[in-house]
Structure 1
Amino acid sequence: MGDGIGRYRGTESRLSWENRLPQWLRRRPREDAAEGESARLDLLLATAAAGLPLAPAAYPAGYSCSCERIGCPTPARHPVSFAWQTQSTTDRDTIERWADDQPEANFITATGMVHDVLDVPLEAGRAALERLLAEGIDVGPVAESGDGRMLFFTATRGTPEVEDEWWPCELDCHPETMDEHPGLRWHSRGSYVLVPPARLADDVVISWARGPEHPLPDPLTLLEALADACTKYAQEADSQDLDHHSVAWPLSR
């Protein structure tokens, strides 16, 4: 996972993210549970305060999912309610109640309402992030997942005035688009992603590399660097006979 919010140049405002995150993600003695829950809640409230609407999600239960669905295709990655799009909110009281009632729950944020997310393989994302910061381009919040993905949070293009300009996240699942920009997924209207702090099976965690206090950029300012990095990553993976289509989620449930 990332080394914290101050990992990359241009992220000098370390705040307390990198110190607070492990307090909740690591298994702690019972006497420290309250402190860990407070750190988790602070992170969630800061994300909501940045305008990202949240809703409760499943969490790992052993090697399976808390939803208890047999063969759940996305364990600990999906919302609890099928009404997650209308349920998603930035209301502080509601999020506090959810976090208190469901202390182990992950949280998702619905995309295409306020923000979109460009979801890329971790190695490609790190290369693109270094390039973007070196070029002085404003980069918004960025999350890293221990299972090999990096999420770039941007302003949304999910509700354009001209409907023909809407680019749904499903587009990148089509073979022609995946060949052109391998490994890149654009989460917009009708999609969602997990927000830090989140836990998956096998002690995989999702954390902020750049926190939600960073303003959301226009996605088009990041797209070229991300697409170039994904293409290079795919070419290198092909030369090593590796799978360059690392899992982008959510998948169909």
Structure 2
Amino acid sequence: MGDDFGRFHGTESKIPQWLRRRPKSTNGTKNTKGVRGGKGGGGAGGAEAVAAAREGLLLAVAGAGMPVAPAAHPVGYRCSCERIGCPTPGRHPISFAWQTQSTTDRAQVERWARNQPEANFITATGMVHDVLDVPLEAGRSALERLLEQGIEVGPVADSGGDRMLFFTATRGTPEDEDEWWPCELDCHPETMDEHPGLRWHCRGSYVLVPPARLPGELGVGWVRGPEHPLPDPLTLLEILTDACARYAGENGELDPHAVAWPMGR
């Protein structure tokens, strides 16, 4: 997670307590282990504070203009969708209509957050923002270089402890809709060998937004929050691809054509 590798210049990890919430027990009651007995963190008051922190982070994402929609959440090492062998547990939207469902409406986000207290949330890319998705180690190196060079960096999230997400402005809407291509093509572009390990989430894609929980007590948390303006993706691309190339060179087992996760839902 973000605070595993410290703070970069001017950055702050904002991983909320919600990421550490324990799942409900099988008899339908919440497991309160680790909740009671702490100062200011036990009982109903502590649960309300955690829920409020989660809701506040989601509203901050929506307030920054990034549309969100509910996603599945982990149940142990399984997915709440109960699909047998779900390939992306806790990482996919609940609804197949997630692209049209995604919204920045404050009232709707509040309803979702309160009515679905265990849900993760995704943000649909390609409308307002894109996301450059790289291996965590490469992202850490790139972020440090970008900040040292005084390049404007927008929101950045640590996703599951192995990927880093750089949120940027979108490429823009072309006058001719036929000029669009689905994000799947960005998984395997002809130049992928030059950009190993990098995926550009644009139209037709999504990423989890903090706070999100993943199987194995992993999660998604902010390294730099959504209050940072979205930069032009091209201002980050050179340093990110260079960092990915270095990472691939040092990790011969890296599959340059691997995608971040399947887009089958």
> Does TM, normalized by the shorter one, top 0.5?
yes
Where does residue 9 of structure 2 map in the other structure?
9
Match of 2:16 among 17, 22, 36: 22
Superposed displacement of residue 89, structure 1: 0.5
Structure 1 residue 246 displacement after superposition: 6.5
Amino acid at match of 1:217: P
How many angstroms apart in 1 are the aligned matches of 2:176 and 2:77?
Answer: 45
Distance in structure 1 (CA, Å) of the matches to 2:161 and 2:150: 29
Q: Which amino acid in the other structure matches residue 252 of structure 1?
A: G
Q: What's the offset of the Cα at 1:165?
A: 5.8
Question: Number of residues paired by the alignment?
Answer: 244
Distance in 2 (alpha carbons) for counterparts of 1:220 and 1:175: 17
- Does residue 38 in structure 1 map to residue 52 in structure 2? yes
- For each residue in 1:87-127, what CA deviation from the matched residue of structure 2 results, as whole angstroms up to 9, or x when unmatched? 10111110110011100000000000100000000000111
Alpha carbons of structure 1 residues 160 and 8: separation in structure 2 relative to 1, 3 Å: farther
Q: Is the 8 A contact 1:168 1:187 kept in 2?
A: no
Residue 175 of structure 2 is matched in structure 1 by 161
Q: TM-score scaled to structure 2, two decimals?
A: 0.85
Change in CA separation of 1:222 and 1:99 when aligned onto 2, cut-off 3 Å: same
The Cα RMSD (Å) is 2.1
Q: Secondary structure at the match of 1:85?
A: helix
Preserved contact between residue 58 and residue 79 of structure 1 (Cα < 8 Å): yes
Would the aligned equivalents of 1:111 and 1:188 in 2 still touch at CA under 8 Å? Answer: yes
CA distance in 1, matches of 2:175, 2:152: 25
Contact 1:158 1:168 in 2 (8 A): no
Superposition pairs of residues 42-121 of structure 1, within 5 angstroms? 42-121=56-135
- Unpaired runs of 5+ residues, structure 2, are 22-33, 36-41
C-alpha deviations, 1:120-144, integer Å up to 9, x for none?
0000011111111111110000000
| % identical equivalent positions | 75
Q: Which amino acid aligns with 2:112?
A: W
Relative to structure 1, the CA distance from residue 148 to residue 22 in structure 2 (aligned partners, 3 Å threshold; closer, same or farther) is: same
C-alpha distance in 1, partners of 2:230/2:82? 36
Bigger radius of gyration, 1 or 2?
2
Q: Deviations over 1:146-198 (max 9, x none)?
A: 34000000000152335576464223332743322110000000100000000
Distance in 1 between the 2:211 and 2:113 partners?
Answer: 12
Check 1:109–1:99 CA distance in 2 against 1; reply closer, same or farther (3 A cut): same
Structure 1 unaligned spans of 5+ = none
Partner SS state of residue 224, structure 1: helix
Q: What TM-score, normalized by structure 1, do the two folds share?
A: 0.89
Asked if the contact 2:87/2:262 (under 8 Å) is kept, the reply is no
